[in-house]
């Protein structure tokens, strides 16, 4: 019995001293600190021309906003994606756009994708319907299924021998189905 009470007293003292242990105050500790952003979060630059992403700075270890993508002409950053500016005309096929503009897919305010007439995102890029390996090769700014994107309603809207098909794509973190010309 004596042995058991000695263990109980010793255990109680250990718990007491561990809970009341003295530590140095940390002058850098701020209980109200909240990081400026959550890793991977998207936002817009102050001038609304760029999408910014929150990352951990390699040097300081702090969470910081850094440029992720510059929005194309005729678009502006809205809630972390590049959306058409108000005066940008919507289109269904390339023929709906004025000369010098390209009908291409953009994210909308309602979290869906649709086509808009904008200045070509990639000057001197390949025309819709031509083979590609990356987005930066295409006048429309998009390469889907190894074909430069051009929107369509039917295969008659497609250049060359391409066929109109439904494409499931993700643009600026918005995933949706759009119609585009693809290789047969």
Q: Are 151 and 115 in contact (CB under 8 A)?
A: yes
Q: Has residue 49 been placed in a domain?
A: yes
Q: Has residue 175 been placed in a domain?
A: no
Query: Above 90 in pLDDT, residue 157?
Result: yes
Q: What is the pLDDT of residues 25-77, one digit of tens each?
A: 666 666 766 678 899 999 999 999 999 999 999 999 999 999 999 999 999 99
Q: Has residue 64 been placed in a domain?
A: yes
pTM of the complete model beyond 0.95: no
**Checking phi first, is residue 160 left (phi over 0); if not, alpha (psi -120 to 50) or beta?**
left
Instruction: Tell the residue number behind the tokens 């918005």, with chain if given.
Output: 174
State how far the alpha carbon of 102 is from the alpha carbons of 55, 118, 127, in Å: 33, 6, 10
Residue 109 pLDDT level (bands cut at 50, 70, 90): confident
Q: Has residue 46 been placed in a domain?
A: yes
Q: Has residue 119 been placed in a domain?
A: no
Q: Has residue 98 been placed in a domain?
A: no
Q: Are 129 and 160 in contact (CB under 8 A)?
A: yes
Q: What stretches of the chain show up as alpha helix (H) in DSSP? A: 2-19
Domain count of the fold of the chain: 1
Q: Has residue 133 been placed in a domain?
A: no
Query: Above 60 in pLDDT, residue 138?
Result: yes
Computed over its alpha carbons, how large is the radius of gyration of the chain?
Answer: 28
- pLDDT, residue 56, reads 93
Query: Please, what sign has the CA dihedral across residues 88, 89, 94, 95?
Result: negative
Q: Has residue 16 been placed in a domain?
A: no
Query: Above 50 in pLDDT, residue 4?
Result: no
State how far the alpha carbon of 45 is from the alpha carbons of 5, 53, 159, in Å: 67, 10, 38
Q: What is the pLDDT of residues 7-20, one digit of tens each?
A: 555 555 555 555 55
Q: Which domain holds residue 45?
A: 36-70
Quick one: which of 44, 103, 105, 89 has its CA closest to 70?
A: 44
């Amino acid at each position: 019995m004596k042995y058991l009470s000695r263990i109980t007293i010793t255990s109680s003292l250990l718990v007491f001293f561990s809970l009341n242990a003295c530590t140095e105050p940390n002058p850098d500790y701020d209980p109200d600190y909240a990081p400026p952003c959550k890793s991977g979060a998207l936002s817009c630059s102050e001038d609304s021309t760029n999408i910014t992403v929150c990352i951990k700075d390699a040097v300081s270890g702090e969470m910081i906003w850094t440029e992720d993508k510059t929005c194309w002409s005729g678009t502006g950053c809205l809630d972390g994606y590049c959306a058409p500016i108000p005066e940008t005309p919507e289109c269904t096929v390339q023929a709906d756009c004025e000369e010098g503009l390209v009908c291409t897919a953009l994210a909308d305010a309602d979290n869906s994708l649709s086509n808009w007439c904008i200045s070509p995102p990639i000057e001197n890029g390949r025309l819709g319907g031509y083979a590609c390996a990356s987005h930066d090769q295409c006048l429309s700014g998009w390469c889907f299924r190894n074909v430069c994107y051009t929107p369509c309603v039917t295969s008659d809207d497609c250049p060359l021998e391409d066929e109109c098909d439904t494409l499931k794509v993700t643009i600026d973190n918005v995933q949706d189905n759009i119609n585009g010309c693809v290789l047969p």
